[in-house]
Amino acid sequence: MKNLSLSSRLLIYILLIATLIWGAASIAARIQTRSAIDEVFDTQQLLFAKRLASANLSELTVDEIQDRSLPKTRNLIGDGDAGEQDDDALGFAIFNERGELLLSDNDHGNDFGYSKRSGFINKRLEGDDDEKWRILYITTPDERYTIAVGQERDYRDDLVSDIVTGQLWPWLLGLPLMMALTVWIVRRELMSLRRTAQALTGRSPDDATPLEETSVPKEARPLVSALNALFVRVSGMLEHERQFTADAAHELRSPLTALRIQSEVALLAQEDRTTRDRALNNLIVGIDRTSRLVDQLLALSRLDATASLMSDTTHLDWRELADEVVVESQPVAQHKEITLNLIVESPPQPIKGNRLLLKMLLANLVNNALRYTPEQGTVEITLRHNGISVTDNGPGVMPSHLSRLGERFFRPPGSQENGSGLGLSIVKRIARLHGLDARWRNRPEGGFQVNLNPTE
């Protein structure tokens, strides 16, 4: 069934449901019709028996039974029109108090037999091919005679079948027409989905043009709306990646060009040791900068694979992560004679996340603070119950540039430190993945501060 089209499955389900309903309706109609037929013919038998009981039966004797026997039903009509009648419609017999047969219709009444019990009895007649009959026995008011009126059960069953068949066969014969109309309606209503599928065929990945929603069925509109939203996200992502690739190429071109220049200077300064050493030192600095840029680009690339990164999460202690970052950053701090302190104002809440990413986040903030803090300055990592902050006493950032911090490859104009402008972008991305809000500000007393708090 799963390999069939939606329209085919719908038609099969409709056919099955229609067949089941038809079968259930047939059974219910047969039960209801049988009840109504039994009620009608039981009443007819009772009325017939009452009429016989009210007749003058005193002249009936056993000796005269041969003279009072009635001819066969069809013989009463002779050569005339027999009409629409059935010999098995009704039969009767009259018995005296001793159970002797006084009068019958000669068709079946002779086989009814005598019964002292009044009421309806279902029995088989031995002389009538063992057919099952429904016989009513009543006793006259003077209790001298017993009257039996019977009817064959097959007669009633045939009548029930004729009535039910007459009602249901037209509907059954109309089923093919109904299915043909259903096929046409289903295909007509699904045509809009086919047009939507055709519109998707050959669509370029960066095409954000929305699909028409009003032309599809109401049930499919949420799907089309989701597709339109997906087109916007994919188009934005592709544009973002194109911009990222262009910016990365631009950022890598400058340090690579500088490395080539310094290499050429070192080669040319064979006899000038001072110039050669300065070129080699600049070459080492350039290599470090390029290596850091490549590492950050790789980090951003890994952050795009959020599904794989965030599948490896555990509950982490901020104090443990901060201790590791402080130990690893001490050589840089000591080289610039910067005091790097870890302050725990209150035990921070554990956080569930990826250890590598959270350590990268904290390391980026600390390295950024160390890079822009002047010699003999101070950098503090403060842990609180509901957040973390990294503070320095450096020059801060121009207020007009604060809003752009965190953009990829953005570096405030006039910065004297080497950098790629990716550090805070990585911080924002990791923070968002872990439900944290990264905010930064210039301190009134001087310096720069970054705060990490749970997203409200």
Domains 218-303 and 312-454 share a fold: no
CATH code: domain 6-173 is 3.30.450
**Other beta carbons within 10 Å of 127:** 11
Provide the whole-model pTM.
0.44
Measured in whole angstroms, the distance separating CA 234 from the mean position of its chain's CA atoms is 24
- CA 421 – CA 413 distance, rounded (Å): 11
Q: Encode burial over 384-402: b for 16+ CB neighbours within 10 A, e otherwise.
A: beebbbbbbbbbbbeeeeb
Measured in whole angstroms, the distance separating CA 221 from the mean position of its chain's CA atoms is 15
Using CA atoms, how far residue 331 sits from 246, 340, 345, in Å, is 34, 10, 25
Closest alpha carbon to 145 in 94, 93, 70: 94
pLDDT in tens, the chain (456 residues): 667 777 778 778 888 888 888 888 888 888 998 899 999 999 998 998 888 888 877 766 655 554 445 555 555 555 555 555 555 578 888 888 888 888 887 667 778 888 888 899 988 887 656 678 899 999 988 888 899 999 888 888 888 888 888 877 777 777 788 878 888 887 777 777 777 777 777 777 777 778 777 777 777 778 888 888 888 777 777 776 666 566 566 556 656 776 777 777 777 776 777 777 777 777 776 776 677 666 666 666 555 555 455 556 788 888 888 898 888 888 888 888 889 999 888 888 888 888 877 888 888 888 888 888 888 889 999 998 888 899 988 888 877 777 777 666 666 654 555 555 666 777 888 888 888 888 888 888 888 888 888 886
Domain ranges for the chain, please list them: 6-173, 218-303, 312-454
CATH code: domain 312-454 is 3.30.565.10
Closest alpha carbon to 424 in 307, 334, 300: 300
- CA 223 – CA 219 distance, rounded (Å): 8
Query: In this structure, which topology does domain 218-303 adopt according to CATH?
Result: Helix Hairpins (1.10.287)
